[in-house]
Chain A
Amino acid sequence: MDQFILQILNGLDKGSAYALIALGLTLIFGTLGVVNFAHGALFMLGAFVAVTVSNLLTLSHKVVDETRTDFLGNPLQVDVPYLYDFFGQAAGDTIIDWAVPISILVAIPIMVAIGFAMERGLIKYFYKRPHADQILVTFGLAIVIQEIVKYFYGANPIPTPAPDAFVGSFDFGVVLGFDPNAIIYPYWRLVYFFFSVVVIGAVFAFLQFTTFGMVVRAGMADRETVGILGIDIDKRFTIMFGIAAAVAGLAGVMYAPINSPNYHMGMDFLVLSFVVVVVGGMGSLPGAVAAGFMLGILESFASMSAVIDLLPGINQIIIYLVAIIILLTRPRGLMGRKGVMEE
Chain B
Amino acid sequence: MSNNNFSRRGVLKTGMVASAGLALPQYLRAQESGFTNAPGASEVILGFNVPQTGPYADEGADELRAYELAVEHLNGEGDGGMLGTFSSQALEGAGILGRRVNYVTGDTQTKSDAARASARSMIEKDGAIMITGGSSSGVAVAVQALCQEAGIIFMAGLTHSNDTTGKDKRANGFRHFFNSYMSGAALAPVLQAAYGSDRKAYHLTADYNWGYTTEEAVRTSTEAMGWETVNTVLTPLTQTDFSSYIAPVLNSGADVLVLNHYGGNMVNSLTNAVQFGLREAQANGKNFEIVVPLYSRLMARGAGSAVAGIFGSTNWHWSLQDAGSQAFVRSFGTKYGFPPSQAAHTCYVQTLLYADAVTRAGSFNPCAVDEALEDFEFDGLGNGPTLYRGEDHQCFKDVLVVKGKENPENEFDLLEIVEITPVAQVTYPADHPQFAGGALGTCNPGA
Interface residues of A (CB under 8 A from B): 2-3, 6-7, 9-11, 13-14, 68, 71-72, 76, 150, 154-159, 161, 168-169, 181-182, 184-186, 188-189, 258-260, 262, 264-265, 268, 299-300, 303-305, 308, 315-316
Contact = CB atoms under 8 A, between A and B. Distances in A.
Contacts of B275: 169, 186, 188-189, 258
Contacts of A14: 241, 243-244
Interface in B142-199: none
Contacts of A155: 54-58
B240 A268 contact: yes
A13 B243 contact: yes
B244 A262 contact: no
Nearest to A179: B251
A7 B247 contact: yes
A71 to B, nearest CB: 5
A275 B324 CA distance: 54
A30 to B, nearest CB: 27
A315 B282 CA distance: 28
A189 B251 CA distance: 20
Interface in B255-308: 264, 267-268, 271-272, 275-277, 280-283, 298-299, 301-306
A254 B58 CA distance: 25
B21 to A, nearest CB: 38
B276 A260 contact: no
Interface residues on B, range: 35 or more
B301 A156 contact: yes
B244 A300 contact: yes
A262 B298 CA distance: 13
Contacts of B339: 71
Interface in B342-387: none
Interface string B202-234: 000000000000000000000000000001011
B276 A184 contact: yes
B45 to A, nearest CB: 27
B116 to A, nearest CB: 21
Contacts of B303: 157, 159, 260
Given A168-B277, A184-B250, A184-B277, A299 B244 contact: yes
Given A71-B339, A259-B241, A264-B55, 20 more contacts: A6-B248, A7-B244, A13-B243, A14-B244, A71-B319, A71-B338, A155-B56, A155-B57, A159-B271, A159-B305, A184-B277, A186-B275, A186-B276, A258-B272, A259-B267, A260-B304, A262-B264, A300-B244, A305-B248, A315-B236
B334 A72 contact: yes
Contacts of A305: 231, 233, 248, 252
Contacts of A72: 329-330, 333-334
A11 to B, nearest CB: 8
A71 B276 CA distance: 34
Given A157-B267, A159-B304, A268-B238, A303 B58 contact: no
B27 interface: no
B302 A260 contact: yes
Contact of A150 (B57, B231, B250, B272): B57
Contact of B267 (A76, A260, A304): A260
A6 B302 contact: no
A182 B271 CA distance: 20
A328 to B, nearest CB: 25
Nearest to A265: B240
B243 A159 contact: no
Nearest to B237: A316
Given A71-B329, A260-B267, A10 B57 contact: no
Contact of B55 (A9, A68, A188, A262): A262
B318 interface: yes
B232 to A, nearest CB: 9
Contact of A304 (B244, B264, B272, B277): B244
B241 to A, nearest CB: 6
A22 B17 CA distance: 56
Given A13-B243, A156-B301, A265-B240, A308 B251 contact: no
Interface of B: 53-58, 231, 233-236, 238, 240-241, 243-245, 247-248, 250-252, 264, 267-268, 271-272, 275-277, 280-283, 298-299, 301-306, 318-319, 329-330, 333-334, 338-339, 409, 412
A305 B229 CA distance: 14
A129 B338 CA distance: 50
Question: Which one of B245, B275, B338 has the greatest number of beta carbons of chain A within 10 Å?
Answer: B275
Contacts of A7: 244, 247
Given A188-B275, A260-B271, A182 B251 contact: yes
Contacts of B240: 259, 265, 268
B318 A71 contact: yes
Contacts of A189: 243, 275
Contact of B412 (A71, A259, A260): A71
Contacts of B333: 71-72
A2 B235 CA distance: 22
26 contacts: A2-B251, A6-B247, A7-B247, A10-B247, A71-B329, A71-B333, A71-B412, A72-B329, A72-B330, A76-B409, A150-B57, A155-B56, A156-B299, A156-B301, A159-B271, A159-B302, A159-B304, A159-B305, A161-B304, A161-B305, A182-B250, A182-B251, A185-B276, A186-B276, A265-B240, A303-B244
B58 A154 contact: yes
A184 B235 CA distance: 21
A150 to B, nearest CB: 7
A156 B251 contact: no
Contacts of B412: 71
A150 B52 CA distance: 11
Question: Which one of A264, A308, A316 has the greatest number of beta carbons of chain B within 10 Å?
Answer: A316
A169 B272 contact: no
Nearest to A264: B55
A254 B365 CA distance: 57
A135 to B, nearest CB: 21
Q: Which 6 residue pairs across A and B have the least CB separation, nearest first?
A: A159-B304, A157-B302, A155-B57, A303-B244, A169-B277, A186-B275
Contacts of A186: 275-277
A189 B57 CA distance: 30
Contact of A259 (B231, B251, B272): B272
Contact of B250 (A9, A10, A181, A188): A181
Question: Which one of A150, A258, A259, A308 has the greatest number of beta carbons of chain B within 10 Å?
Answer: A259
Question: Which one of A2, A186, A304, A305 has the greatest number of beta carbons of chain B within 10 Å?
Answer: A305
Contacts of A9: 247
A256 to B, nearest CB: 11
Contacts of B244: 7, 10-11, 14, 299-300, 303-304
Contacts of A161: 304-305
Given A71-B339, A168-B280, A181-B251, A258 B241 contact: yes
Contacts of A188: 275
